[in-house]
Structure 1
């Protein structure tokens, strides 16, 4: 049933221009990147909540990432700021100005008080004019003028003593109100009478000003330093912010905002961060394909196939992640990373499979909260899949690889469980992890076997498995060739052996050469008796027809073969070998026969050429040379090593001179290696044999 489905499955085709188009290649990369971003963005972004203070939590909420508790941090830092006292700078000039003001006042009082020409009012006015900042009232000033002149020095001395004692301490705005009490206490030890003491107090008190000046900038600097020294209060990943049923308070709501878990505060940082991660993912893939010269990087059809595999793995992983909240905590071990790497290793190459094992593991991490153990186990599983199918020869090998992956998963999961920081766990959780690991390995192999034929057929990719299946003698077309054209069948087998041996020496694909050689002459089945290897009798049908008709019959086997191969859905690489294995060579036998029969000199050599095209690949060129050499050597009467070597050299020279090898990648050095391989193989086939004697007759 599957073979019938594959037979009718249409193959995806792209024109040569689109296969090489850089714009299409860039579009494929962009589409893959965008799909992966949209697919896993929901897994990376945490759930957001629309809560207000006083609301009841509908579910327990854990911190999805680390964050800073802004409210708690601000509280601690504000307390630290408050504990820093105000900063002051000492102004020594304040005390000097107080001394100067006392001296000036008393000197002015002495000078104007002793002037008999001035009235009492004039004296007051003169003193106020000389001492504009005078804080004494008129009554106090009159009392000061009434003091005898010889007593003024005593007042000066007492005032100076008070000022000196006051400024022993630091005076600030806050301590100014206490100056009055301090002055009373200091004057208690004075020898002056009561009126004089009061006069000195009233004179000194206005002169006392703060000598400590508030420094706002220094204060703020100190407070900021103390606040900055307070470490931020951290919200740790996994910390329970609120339990189900608890009331949302101001602190809880602040934590939700800090974690960007509120509906009003989208976490743009995570949007940008995940976009950068997926872009990095695609850049790694792009740079690897471009810098290593991978065939996938230069063929957009193969890149499209790779993109489909990536999306299949991504969709499967995304689907599994949706089941995790339903109670399947370890379902990530089912991630089909091994399936993707096995498909890539079989369809493309092992090195690309190794790179994709790493990239697929990152996608698994994105789907399951970037858990390290899951990323590591996925990576090991993918690598195991690559190595297990590196020498795949049949689909049974893929199934065997599935069991190998299951075993490796089991060991890796056990190792990671043993290294887990938790001291214990439920037995059911361990058993579930092991079960998922085993199922994941086997399931990856089953899906790989199911998906592989569709990708091979849809994208025309030849894998070792499909080539080995085509080379099976039980293939319907080969069985038909054996029954209807046995000579051609055996000729094709020998050509296949020659081509495989030659391909191994020049880094061509031996398997494609062998399979292409098996099918290159299937078109001869349409008229088998017109080809000499199938003529069992001495009668040759070409003797009865014109050389031009013989040319048409012989050359038509290429077209007939292509039609048969298309009917049996053979891959394009095999059809190309059939189409190109004669190139545009000339049928010299029928051309010479036509010259002998020509009476009007109208025969042209180009009329007896094959339609072509010339070989475009190493494999097609090798089959062309094998086909010609095998036919020539088989036609020899006594194929000795020297004669075989001469025939090989002649055929190679003819093909070079005719330009048949101009469009393939074979070099002269390659031709020398191919000739050596032909000679070695043909000598083994046509080696000399001894003649066995007849057994003696019985008496």
Structure 2
């Protein structure tokens, strides 16, 4: 035990001796290291687990999509199928119609030429027409043309060209060729020709009519692209099973893992940079809040280091839970993380406001480790908020278990609400385990807080209300000594403590620090108790036998003696600060005037009869300074009536203001006025007038007369 205590003392001395307590560079370094630590611990949890797979490999575990992503392979396959369903696109080629008309016109011109040449025989005429006719035209067509009268020929030639223009004037595809004969017959029916000639002309027209639709690759490609664009993206939803254990890796599953950034050779620089900015923004927000609050953590880097350590501890637990989930545990294991532990200790160390903001910060980080899911955020935040409010008023260390039970209950309710709001396929047994994890997380918060709090208080020299309440116990060894060795000072300190507590409550200062600081502010008087008037019960005043300068040294040394005792008993810094500052640099007027009387020829320097200081640096130290003077002054009054008490209080405050003793602390004139009212309420109860009861013996004597 002694070795442990020595080791602990050495660690405390080492930490408190480091020169970084007020260094701005060190403060910036702590914030920077906090960003690096959070990012380094959680980036592996935020990024999906990476695998090294190839097509045909057997999966050794079931892999689930950690987030939503577009399924590139499935989307591409769907778009290819849609494009394949698009029929080819064709365009009307006007040259087909022009070519058909040109063939007919050439044939009709040749016919007129051979008819006008009387020297040609019929056979020669037929051969000439056949040479100028399109392939597939038989002799019946030529015979009809050669035997027609000029009037009939003109009608046949004109009607033939008109019919071709009608048929080929619009889209005419290869499939329409099956109906070409019927279309031509419908046109020829209207002509006044015999059936034999009609059939011959029909053969001619069928020979020149060709499909006028030509395949258009540009239109076809555009139509297929439009079809592909109309196919929506196929999505992989968070929680979808990508591969089951024992299943072969296919090109489709490999593509899905690539889309989800789950392959080792697929770094996600955008997500890594985005998460770094996310963490940086959260830490900057916390830093701004801390500096704006101007509490102890904003002034002492050792306290900031403790805060960073508490956050780091929670981040480590989040990372451990995510690693366990990746190894096969249920995702709800995160609910077993004692998030409320951090909020409890931050609330006790640094105040409720910072604890509430830190609860939000940790909940966001927990959510980020699980794909920014809402359920971990909600459960972590609700439990932490409940624990923070439970520790806002502290009476003893039992508050940790009460806060732990409260956090467990809130976790239980929050998890139940999430299961009701977000339906899932989880079985009743699975839901029961989830609820159990939440209860365990709350209880662990209380247990860990009880175990860690004393060590953190001691190592980092942080003062909590729990520690202060323990110091306020009358059985504290130093207070017991004060009661036995300097009883007058002890009772004076108790009254000063009551005054300081009421004044602090009136102006919103820390009443507990004021009360405890008042209890210990005069412990240095135990070295020479008889030299202080409250301990002089009759007899001679020892100051009458010594010079004023020596009396000054004896009286003022109670401050340095008190600091030595407080450090010996390892009391926290706020208490030692009050001890050092409760007299400021005030003048010991009694001994100064005595020095003037001792040597009337030489005027002593008034500054040589001042306390060494420093002046009060906090409102709490200023309160104790004024209370100390007020209690001593009122105690010395012969008839402490309310008007006289109030006048004395205001005079003391005025003297301290004019002497500049309150220049270095954040206390206002309104605060001083409120303190005066609080002093009056307290002192009237302590120094009220009492009824003078008659002597019983005198009453009896008067009765017997």
- Tell me the equivalent position of 2:502: 501
Q: 1:56 aligns with which of 51, 58, 74?
A: 58
- Tell me the equivalent position of 1:653: 654
Deviations 1:396-440 (A, max 9, x none): 22222223333443444455556663467254x455444433332
Secondary structure of 2:242's match?
A: strand
- Tell me the equivalent position of 2:610: 609
- Tell me the equivalent position of 1:29: 31
Mapped to 2, the partners of 1:25 and 1:112 lie a distance apart of 113
Q: How many Å apart are 1:615 and its aligned residue?
A: 1.7
Mapped to 1, the partners of 2:250 and 2:276 lie a distance apart of 34
Q: How many Å apart are 1:242 and its aligned residue?
A: 3.1
Q: 1:331 aligns with which of 326, 330, 333?
A: 333
Q: Which ranges of structure 1 fall in alignment gaps of 5 or more residues?
A: 117-126, 128-133
- Tell me the equivalent position of 2:573: 572
Q: Which moved more, 1:376-385 or 1:2-11?
A: 2-11
Mapped to 1, the partners of 2:393 and 2:590 lie a distance apart of 46
**TM-aligned CA distance change 1:646 to 1:254, over 3 Å:** closer
- Tell me the equivalent position of 1:360: 362
Mapped to 1, the partners of 2:448 and 2:265 lie a distance apart of 44
Q: How many Å apart are 1:149 and its aligned residue?
A: 11
Mapped to 2, the partners of 1:235 and 1:216 lie a distance apart of 35
Mapped to 2, the partners of 1:215 and 1:45 lie a distance apart of 49
**TM-aligned CA distance change 1:627 to 1:224, over 3 Å:** same
The answer as to whether partners of 2:92 and 2:170 remain within 8 angstroms in 1 is no
Counterpart mapping for 1:208-287 below 5 A: 211-268=212-269, 270-286=271-287
TM-score of the pair, normalised by structure 2: 0.83
**TM-aligned CA distance change 1:652 to 1:357, over 3 Å:** closer
The answer as to whether partners of 1:335 and 1:364 remain within 8 angstroms in 2 is no
- Tell me the equivalent position of 1:518: 519
CA-atom RMSD in angstroms: 4.1
Mapped to 2, the partners of 1:614 and 1:399 lie a distance apart of 41
- Report how many residues are paired: 674
- Tell me the equivalent position of 1:485: 486
- Are 2:82 and 1:80 aligned? yes
The answer as to whether partners of 1:14 and 1:301 remain within 8 angstroms in 2 is no
Q: Which moved more, 1:212-221 or 1:376-385?
A: 212-221
Mapped to 2, the partners of 1:49 and 1:231 lie a distance apart of 29
Q: Which moved more, 1:281-290 or 1:229-238?
A: 281-290
Mapped to 1, the partners of 2:134 and 2:419 lie a distance apart of 90
Q: Which ranges of structure 2 fall in alignment gaps of 5 or more residues?
A: 119-127
- Are 2:530 and 1:529 aligned? yes
**TM-aligned CA distance change 1:223 to 1:671, over 3 Å:** same
Mapped to 1, the partners of 2:423 and 2:542 lie a distance apart of 86
Secondary structure of 1:395's match?
A: coil
Q: How many Å apart are 1:9 and its aligned residue?
A: 4.8
Q: Which moved more, 1:655-664 or 1:88-97?
A: 88-97
Q: Which moved more, 1:159-168 or 1:354-363?
A: 159-168
Q: How many Å apart are 1:445 and its aligned residue?
A: 1.1
The answer as to whether partners of 1:377 and 1:413 remain within 8 angstroms in 2 is yes
Q: How many Å apart are 1:279 and its aligned residue?
A: 4.1
Deviations 1:9-67 (A, max 9, x none): 5164599996473x654443332232222212222333333332222222333333333
Q: Which moved more, 1:666-675 or 1:580-589?
A: 666-675
**TM-aligned CA distance change 1:221 to 1:292, over 3 Å:** farther
The answer as to whether partners of 1:346 and 1:390 remain within 8 angstroms in 2 is yes
The answer as to whether partners of 1:90 and 1:212 remain within 8 angstroms in 2 is yes
Mapped to 2, the partners of 1:677 and 1:285 lie a distance apart of 36
The answer as to whether partners of 1:9 and 1:457 remain within 8 angstroms in 2 is no
Secondary structure of 1:692's match?
A: coil
The answer as to whether partners of 1:393 and 1:468 remain within 8 angstroms in 2 is yes
- Tell me the equivalent position of 1:448: 449
Mapped to 1, the partners of 2:227 and 2:109 lie a distance apart of 51
Q: How many Å apart are 1:344 and its aligned residue?
A: 1.4
- Tell me the equivalent position of 1:317: 318
Q: Which moved more, 1:106-115 or 1:396-405?
A: 106-115
Mapped to 2, the partners of 1:431 and 1:136 lie a distance apart of 90
The answer as to whether partners of 1:155 and 1:200 remain within 8 angstroms in 2 is no
**TM-aligned CA distance change 1:680 to 1:421, over 3 Å:** closer
The answer as to whether partners of 1:6 and 1:454 remain within 8 angstroms in 2 is no
- Tell me the equivalent position of 2:305: 304
- Tell me the equivalent position of 1:119: none
Q: How many Å apart are 1:545 and its aligned residue?
A: 1.8
Q: 1:399 aligns with which of 398, 401, 407?
A: 401
Q: Which moved more, 1:239-248 or 1:413-422?
A: 413-422
- Tell me the equivalent position of 2:588: 587
**TM-aligned CA distance change 1:16 to 1:224, over 3 Å:** same
- Are 2:18 and 1:38 aligned? no
- Tell me the equivalent position of 1:121: none
Mapped to 2, the partners of 1:334 and 1:612 lie a distance apart of 51
Q: Which moved more, 1:333-342 or 1:230-239?
A: 230-239
**TM-aligned CA distance change 1:508 to 1:251, over 3 Å:** closer
Mapped to 2, the partners of 1:565 and 1:28 lie a distance apart of 30
Q: How many Å apart are 1:555 and its aligned residue?
A: 1.4
- Tell me the equivalent position of 1:551: 552
Mapped to 1, the partners of 2:91 and 2:432 lie a distance apart of 74
Mapped to 2, the partners of 1:324 and 1:651 lie a distance apart of 66
